[in-house]
Amino acid sequence: MDWQFVFSQALTQAIGPTMLVYALGAIGLNLQFGYTGLLNFGQAAFAAMGAYGLALAVASFGLPFWWGIAIGLVAAVVMALLLGIPTLRLRADYLAIVTIAAAEIVRRLARSTVWSETTGGSDGLRGFSEAFFAMKPWGDDGNWSFLFVSMESGRLTVDLGVVNFQYSDRDLWVMVVGWTLVLFFLAVMGLLVHSPWGRVLKGIREDEEAVRSLGKNVFAYKMQALVFGGIIGAFAGFMFALSRANVQPDAFTTDFTFYFYVVLILGGAARLFGPVLGAALFWFLYNLFAQGLNQAIRADVIPPSVLDSTQVGPLVFFLLGLGMVLLLIFRPQGLIGNRKELMLDVR
């Protein structure tokens, strides 16, 4: 078994493009769930708004790239308003049910054959990311090396001896943009949650009535949190669509939202760096399991009669579910959270 390969893969993914998608989505969710206590179970739908807003605008309607970004953001805001107006006045679990239903509506509409000419049906859309990659400030075929970092025909290798990281040229550009966005939103969130506005949000999470009695418009604050978290969710959708250069409706299932929650709780909800830490750890563990099991099967450490390579996926997701349940039972604050902040109750 090639342990070096397994660890290299896991570490590569732990700071890679997919991890950034989850980090961004979880940052948005952190504002909604961690700080405000809103149970948004439809973060996948906000990501879908971003991804499909961009893909439809560019690939189907031929609009410029930046229009696509704008349309994705507007769609996410509209979605937040649509979901928030009926449910934010109600108890927390109503928002949970409505958002989960809305996410499913979005997915089913996107995969429906009725307008598959425009949306691509269940096959999704592609061909909208060229403008994004054309913005890459460096050339396609750089060849250079500096100490242990080398660039060879569009492939960056960071060889640290024990482990090595490899990224394609496109992944590198996605990562540059993605990490910039993550740092930007972390900075904004840091300023927001330490402002009077952020304190009101935490107050709402702890005791809505108390905040209301201070004369604050709780509904408006919740709505602002939902909209802003949704916008960050849409950015996660942009990164998701661009990193894979396609969108497919079935990527935006309820499970997608659930992984945002895993990431958030793993890192620690209501902590600024919780989502980023959680996303890195989540993808590290995921790849460690998946790659490790695949390698073990290939090297005949695990005989095929026990585990077949098609069963690795379900097994890893099973372990993730189990890990999530155990985490919530025994360490609901995650890595860096504060247990007292997460004793939420809806009754």
Shortest CB 262 distance to another protein, Å: 8
Instruction: Identify whether the C-beta of residue 155 lies closer than 8 Å to the C-beta of residue 143.
Output: no
Shortest CB 105 distance to another protein, Å: 5
Shortest CB 270 distance to another protein, Å: 13
Cβ nearer to another protein, comparing 224 with 287: 287
CA distance 341 to 36: 11
Closest CA to 37 of 239, 277, 320, 229: 229
Shortest CB 107 distance to another protein, Å: 9
Cβ nearer to another protein, comparing 23 with 316: 316
Distance of CA 248 to the CA centre of its chain: 15
Question: 3-state DSSP: the chain helix, strand, coil percent, rounded to 5?
Answer: 70, 5, 25
Cβ nearer to another protein, comparing 66 with 243: 243
Cβ nearer to another protein, comparing 69 with 241: 241
Shortest CB 209 distance to another protein, Å: 10
Q: Which two tokens stand for residue 112?
A: 């429906």
The conformation of residue 146, written as its DSSP 8-state character, comes to E
Distance of CA 197 to the CA centre of its chain: 25
Shortest CB 39 distance to another protein, Å: 6
CA distance 248 to 252: 8
How many residues make up the chain in this entry?
347
> Starting at the edge strand that comes first in sequence, how are the strands of the sheet with 164-168 ordered?
144-146, 149-152, 155-159, 164-168
Cβ nearer to another protein, comparing 15 with 98: 98
Is residue 264 packed enough to be buried (19+ CB in 10 Å), middle (13-18) or exposed (0-12)? buried
Shortest CB 42 distance to another protein, Å: 11
CA distance 21 to 262: 14
Cβ nearer to another protein, comparing 66 with 148: 148
User: In the beta sheet, which residues pair with residue 158?
Assistant: 149, 165
Cβ nearer to another protein, comparing 159 with 186: 159
